[in-house]
Chain A
Amino acid sequence: MERGAAAITVIRPPAAFEAIDVGELVRYRDLLYFLVWRDIKVLYAQTVLGFAWAILNPLIQIAIFTVIFGRIARIDTDGIPYILFVTVAIVPWTYMSEAMTASSQSLVTEQNMLGKVYFPRLIYPLTPVIAKLVDFFIALLLVGGVLVYYAVAPGWNLLWLPVFVLWMVAIPAAIGLWLSALAIRFRDVKFAMPFVIRMLLYTAPILYSASALPEQYRLIYSLNPLVGVIEGMRAALLGVPIPWEYILPGAAVALLLLAGGAVYFRKMERVFVDVI
């Protein structure tokens, strides 16, 4: 061991504003990897169906929504078959809602670890955001199946998919940063979360088309970052024109939320341990 070259760590009271220590995060990448691995492995432990749930979960939702909104309410989907229309939205939506819920509770569920050992606290809310991606990619098989069944070719739009996937990850990460830091102060977050999730489901164009909205509300509507992700995913997978007018305002909001969440999280980080 090179004793002379030992790194010097300085411990001092935190400043009012602390930037994210990217170098430190990189040093702890192996930990992030194993925590993600733990989450993935433990999630379906002692279940009979295992990863089949990653498909079943969206599948059941799709079935319900198709019956209610496709057959009974007959929602206008710009001529796209309802199953197709809702599948490409439900799969990213399932990911986002689950990642958001898990991430916002991450500090509370891991408070035992929080009080015993130090590693960059950002890892807590980021872990579920990454781990839930496994379910997402499995559920993409479902999307693929539906596309094949309806013989839809996404075309060149598919190249945009990685961009929308990144954006899809950024949203629960941003919400997770805000809410996990808030949840450790106020445990109310846990009880409010189901309502937030339901509200997001109905305010995003998951079950209906964004074009059903009156023109003059479009800008306000698209400030919801979920709108852009869902519409973008739909366009990328179904090969319809990408509606940038919905996408850009939401992307800006998502970036702001993410940056703000990081600042807020860092600010709260210094007192987490003392209040759990």
Chain B
Amino acid sequence: MDSAPIAVRAEGVSKVYRIGLKERAHDSLAAAALELLTSPVRNYRKYRSLYRFKDLERADPETAPSTPDTIWALRNVGFELRQGEVLGIVGRNGAGKSTLLKILTRITPPTRGRIEIHGRVSSLLEVGTGFHRELTGRENVYLNGTILGMSKKEVDRKFDEIVEFAGVEKFLDTPVKRYSSGMSVRLAFAVAAHLEPEILIVDEVLAVGDAAFQKKCIRKMQDVGRSGRTILFVSHNMPAVKMLCTRAILLDEGRLVMDGPPHDVVSAYMTTDVGVPAERVWPDPALAPGRRVAKLRAIRVIRRDGAVASAVDIRDDVGLQLEYDVEEPGHVLMPQFYVYNDEGLLLFASYEQQNAWAQRPRPQGRYMSTAWIPGNLLSAGMFYVSCALLSRSTSVSQFYEQQAVAFLVTDNMGEGTARGDWAGSYRGVVRPLLSWETERVESSRKLHSA
């Protein structure tokens, strides 16, 4: 693979966005009116400021801080990609994946750095771009094909193949507005899939269409990969990354933090707690989430010894702890937790029911509620916790923080684990330690004689 010629070489690629200053909140009618009067001047400054880059272009992307006004979406990203490689790009939302793709497809230029691309790039980011409802299927194929960078001649050559792939032969001269949404997506994808670029960029479009069509798309992507072309694949679907890619990179907060075999990168991505912390605290009551009755002050994941834990052994109990201030007395409150796995599946909810406070109106004060998830219940992996506090008389949520904290359950074997001495795959979203009973109910001798 190392001897293959270079397909993409990126050096020190950085990108900074100006997002413009936030609108100020005003607290009186007079202030609001004044604001309205002066707004043309402020708006002009604001929209003009979006175009000021001089100072940022000189800043060092390694260290320059993101300010309220600017975001460094990419910082000194560099990699080399050889022909025939299938590169998976993984990272959380906001890690810089989309920005990197936008730079590679020339939609937006980098602030710094240089990328060399050998061959034509096309991307499946833009499936259906430029499709017009009033035009016929045939016209849209030509329009979309040329938008994606083909010449009319190339579209002529591929036309029959595209139409057959999409399965819309009968409706070629019907305006696309009469198509079902499935048909137009299929047609759009078919055009994109027949581009035959040297470098293909795929951004999780495999989510489109029905199951049969998805299979067709995966096969097409594998064909493209086998034909020696280079693919960049951005996905949150880790099994797909492991299956399709030959290499992967991990982006975090605009930095390339890992580059290696997909299996290693995926597990690094899964195990780092980048993004969601194990504890969140709101020290300033003015900023704390909540309504009139109660305010959330902290949520954390703890161990039995009370320490905040971002990772726990699969055998150990996990405590979910809420700290909140009750500011208006006399309400019966019900704390709630929701636990999700890394695919966003809600595994279970839990409401406080089994203790003295469950039915009693609460006086003012600071409260701490902890729910214990027993060890040997969750499987290994990342889990995300949402919390809420319901006042029962009015059924009003005082606060509801979605996926506020997260923790990792680390796999283990041996004594006290469901896994025991089994080192192979162990499936399922939960992994309870069930008690198994096996007894010999008949001897083999009797069995045969029967």
Residues of A within 8 A of B (CB): 1, 3, 6-14, 28, 30-31, 33-35, 37-38, 41-42, 45-46, 112-113, 115-119, 185-186, 268, 270-271, 273-275
Sorted nearest first, the 9 A-B pairs with minimum C-beta distance are: A6-B119, A118-B106, A31-B146, A11-B115, A30-B152, A45-B134, A116-B126, A117-B126, A9-B117
CB nearest to A43 among chain B residues = B134
CB nearest to A11 among chain B residues = B115
Q: How far is the CA of A275 from the CA of B53 in the complex (A)?
A: 13
Q: Are B135 and A38 in contact (CB under 8 A)?
A: yes
Across-interface contacts of A37 in B (CB, < 8 A): 139, 143
Distance between B187 CB and nearest chain A CB, rounded to angstroms: 16
- With A3-B198, A8-B118, A10-B115 as contacts: A41 and B134 at CB distance below 8 Å: yes
Q: Are A274 and B17 in contact (CB under 8 A)?
A: yes
Distance between A187 CB and nearest chain B CB, rounded to angstroms: 9
Q: How far is the CA of A118 from the CA of B149 in the complex (A)?
A: 9
Pick the contact of B143: A38, A115, A271 (CB < 8 A): A38
Q: Are B147 and A119 in contact (CB under 8 A)?
A: yes
Distance between B188 CB and nearest chain A CB, rounded to angstroms: 12
Pick the contact of B142: A34, A118, A273 (CB < 8 A): A34
- With A31-B146, A41-B134 as contacts: A11 and B114 at CB distance below 8 Å: yes
Pick the contact of B117: A11, A38, A270, A273 (CB < 8 A): A11
Q: How far is the CA of A131 from the CA of B257 in the complex (A)?
A: 49
Q: Are A13 and B111 in contact (CB under 8 A)?
A: yes
CB nearest to A118 among chain B residues = B106
15 pairs of residues in contact across A and B, judged by CB atoms under 8 Å: A7-B119, A10-B114, A11-B106, A11-B114, A11-B116, A30-B146, A34-B143, A37-B143, A38-B135, A117-B123, A117-B126, A117-B148, A268-B51, A274-B17, A274-B50
Of A30, A35, A37, A268, most B-chain CB atoms within 10 Å = A30
Pick the contact of A12: B110, B119, B126 (CB < 8 A): B110
Q: How far is the CA of A273 from the CA of B111 in the complex (A)?
A: 13
Distance between B181 CB and nearest chain A CB, rounded to angstroms: 17
CB nearest to B175 among chain A residues = A45
Across-interface contacts of A275 in B (CB, < 8 A): 18, 47, 50-51
CB nearest to A270 among chain B residues = B109
Scan residues 378-426 of chain B and give those whose CB is less than 8 A from a CB of chain A. Answer: none
Across-interface contacts of B126 in A (CB, < 8 A): 116-117
CB nearest to B150 among chain A residues = A30
Q: How far is the CA of A13 from the CA of B57 in the complex (A)?
A: 10
Across-interface contacts of A7 in B (CB, < 8 A): 118-120
Distance between A231 CB and nearest chain B CB, rounded to angstroms: 38
Scan residues 310-353 of chain B and give those whose CB is less than 8 A from a CB of chain A. Answer: none
Distance between B302 CB and nearest chain A CB, rounded to angstroms: 43
Contact with A along B42-77 (1 / 0, CB 8 A): 001001101101000100000000000000000000
Q: Are B105 and A117 in contact (CB under 8 A)?
A: yes
Distance between A92 CB and nearest chain B CB, rounded to angstroms: 28
Across-interface contacts of A12 in B (CB, < 8 A): 109-110, 113-115
Q: Are B110 and A6 in contact (CB under 8 A)?
A: no
Pick the contact of A3: B18, B83, B130 (CB < 8 A): B83
Across-interface contacts of A28 in B (CB, < 8 A): 146
Q: Are B146 and A34 in contact (CB under 8 A)?
A: yes
Q: How far is the CA of A10 from the CA of B106 in the complex (A)?
A: 10
Q: Are A185 and B115 in contact (CB under 8 A)?
A: no
Q: Are B107 and A117 in contact (CB under 8 A)?
A: yes
Q: Are A42 and B108 in contact (CB under 8 A)?
A: no
Q: How far is the CA of A242 from the CA of B147 in the complex (A)?
A: 43
Across-interface contacts of B113 in A (CB, < 8 A): 12-13
CB nearest to A185 among chain B residues = B47
Pick the contact of B107: A6, A38, A118, A186 (CB < 8 A): A118
CB nearest to B43 among chain A residues = A186
Contact with A along B83-96 (1 / 0, CB 8 A): 10000000000000
Q: Are A116 and B129 in contact (CB under 8 A)?
A: yes
Q: Is B267's CB within 8 Å of the partner chain A?
A: no
Distance between A6 CB and nearest chain B CB, rounded to angstroms: 4
Q: How far is the CA of A10 from the CA of B110 in the complex (A)?
A: 11
Q: How far is the CA of A24 from the CA of B358 in the complex (A)?
A: 71
Q: Is B204's CB within 8 Å of the partner chain A?
A: no
Of A31, A41, A186, A268, most B-chain CB atoms within 10 Å = A31
Across-interface contacts of A33 in B (CB, < 8 A): 146, 152
Pick the contact of A274: B108, B139, B142, B196 (CB < 8 A): B108
CB nearest to A117 among chain B residues = B126
Q: Are B105 and A42 in contact (CB under 8 A)?
A: no
Q: Is B202's CB within 8 Å of the partner chain A?
A: no
Q: Is B247's CB within 8 Å of the partner chain A?
A: no
- With A1-B196, A117-B105, A117-B148 as contacts: A6 and B118 at CB distance below 8 Å: yes
- With A11-B103, A270-B109 as contacts: A112 and B120 at CB distance below 8 Å: no
Besides A3-B83, A3-B119, A13-B109, 6 new A-B residue pairs in contact (Cβ under 8 A), listed by A number: A6-B120, A11-B110, A11-B117, A30-B151, A34-B143, A118-B107
Q: Is B112's CB within 8 Å of the partner chain A?
A: yes
Across-interface contacts of B228 in A (CB, < 8 A): 3
CB nearest to A110 among chain B residues = B130
